[in-house]
Structure 1
Amino acid sequence: MKKPVLAGILALATSLILAGIGFAQTAGGLSTLRGAGVEDPVPLEQVFQQETQRFTREYRQQPPLIPHSIDQYQVDLKANQCLTCHDWTNAGERNAPTLSMTHYLDRDGTEMDHVAGTRWFCSQCHVPQVNAPALVDNTFESTATR
């Protein structure tokens, strides 16, 4: 007896939530950051190019930015093309920065001789650097300039 009542309440709550979302979207007053609808094309005023000099880090322990394009890099469950240059075994001969030792520690802090699975997908922390204006105004102050 309790299960059908609970299922009915859950169905009613779900219906009300979906109706509320639909109403909120059609009610107007919502705007996008880019000032256009999803289906509307927005012309690019300027394409910002990759910067090759290294940017300074803006706060303590900020992951370094990537000073080169990674558009064609394969990083998936089976391969990580970043490691062809940045793994500690290759970095010296490729003249590339090595990964910090934190990339070779598993979740328990055990040191390994290969990159930990938790650090395998580089772009979850590291992003290509580009000299482009901020998309949204902010009041961030770099700790590097203090």
Structure 2
Amino acid sequence: MKLLKLVVASLFALSVLGGASSFAADSINELRNADILTQDAAPRIPKVVNSDERQVRNYPEQPPLIPHKIDGYQIDKRLNKCMTCHSRKAIEQSQAPMISITHFMNRDNQFLASVSPRRFFCTQCHVPQTESKPLVENTFVDVDEVLKGEAKK
């Protein structure tokens, strides 16, 4: 008898829960557009500028932009792929600009023989440029434009 009551109770519970789950699915479909799952909602990744031409800086102390692709570059505590072209030893052959002398200074402004550990991870400050339109409107005016306007007055 106990077994029969247990079977009946479990069948009742399954029917109630099964109905609740279909009710929940119907409610969710009513709350959102059902076609959203069939659409490609993710934006396309913009192409990286790969011109190897230096970009103009927009303000003093701006870290230079990376003018080439860096896909697959290993930058971790063991290796920094950027240094194969931008280190002091490599610039003569690679014709790439050497990293700034400030990258060899520690936090006490003492010069080191190699790159400072706090400046070792290049992509913390330097980023590649992409071929994309700005996400927000920008009214930035370069300092040279400001000086031209002052000179006209």
Asked if Structure 1 and Structure 2 have the same fold, meaning a TM-score greater than 0.5 normalized by the shorter chain, the answer is yes
Q: 1:140 and 1:58 mapped to 2: Cα distance?
A: 9
The structure-2 alpha-carbon separation of the partners of 1:42 and 1:85, relative to structure 1 and needing over 3 Å to count, comes to same
Per-residue Cα deviation, 1:50-70 (whole angstroms, up to 9, x for no partner): 141322111111111101101
Q: Is the 2:48–2:68 contact (alpha carbons within 8 Å) kept by the matching residues of 1?
A: no
The structure-2 alpha-carbon separation of the partners of 1:46 and 1:109, relative to structure 1 and needing over 3 Å to count, comes to closer
Question: Which residue does 1:105 correspond to in 2?
Answer: 105
Q: Flag structure 1 segments of 5+ consecutive residues without an equivalent.
A: 1-36
Q: CA RMSD in A?
A: 2.2
Question: Which residue does 2:57 correspond to in 1?
Answer: 57
Deviation at 1:133, TM superposition (A): 1.0
Q: 2:49 and 2:84 mapped to 1: Cα distance?
A: 21
Amino acid at match of 1:74: Q
Deviation at 1:142, TM superposition (A): 2.1
TM-score (norm 2): 0.63
Structure ID, larger Rg? 2
Q: Is the 1:66–1:126 contact (alpha carbons within 8 Å) kept by the matching residues of 2?
A: yes
Q: Flag structure 2 segments of 5+ consecutive residues without an equivalent.
A: 1-35, 147-153
How many residue pairs match? The answer is: 108
Deviation at 1:107, TM superposition (A): 0.9
> Which structure has the highest helix share of the two?
2
The structure-2 alpha-carbon separation of the partners of 1:51 and 1:132, relative to structure 1 and needing over 3 Å to count, comes to farther
Amino acid at match of 2:71: D
Amino acid at match of 2:47: F
Stretches (4+) displaced over 3 A:
43-49
Amino acid at match of 1:106: N
Question: Which residue does 2:8 correspond to in 1?
Answer: none
Question: Which residue does 1:20 correspond to in 2?
Answer: none
Q: 2:142 and 2:131 mapped to 1: Cα distance?
A: 16
Per-residue Cα deviation, 1:61-85 (whole angstroms, up to 9, x for no partner): 1111101101110001111010011
Amino acid at match of 1:48: K
Q: 2:76 and 2:114 mapped to 1: Cα distance?
A: 16
Q: 2:133 and 2:110 mapped to 1: Cα distance?
A: 41
Deviation at 1:129, TM superposition (A): 1.5
Aligned partner of residue 79 in structure 2, secondary structure: coil
Q: Is the 2:86–2:97 contact (alpha carbons within 8 Å) kept by the matching residues of 1?
A: yes
Q: Which structure is higher in RCO with an 8 Å CA cutoff and minimum separation 6?
A: 1
Q: Is the 1:51–1:67 contact (alpha carbons within 8 Å) kept by the matching residues of 2?
A: yes
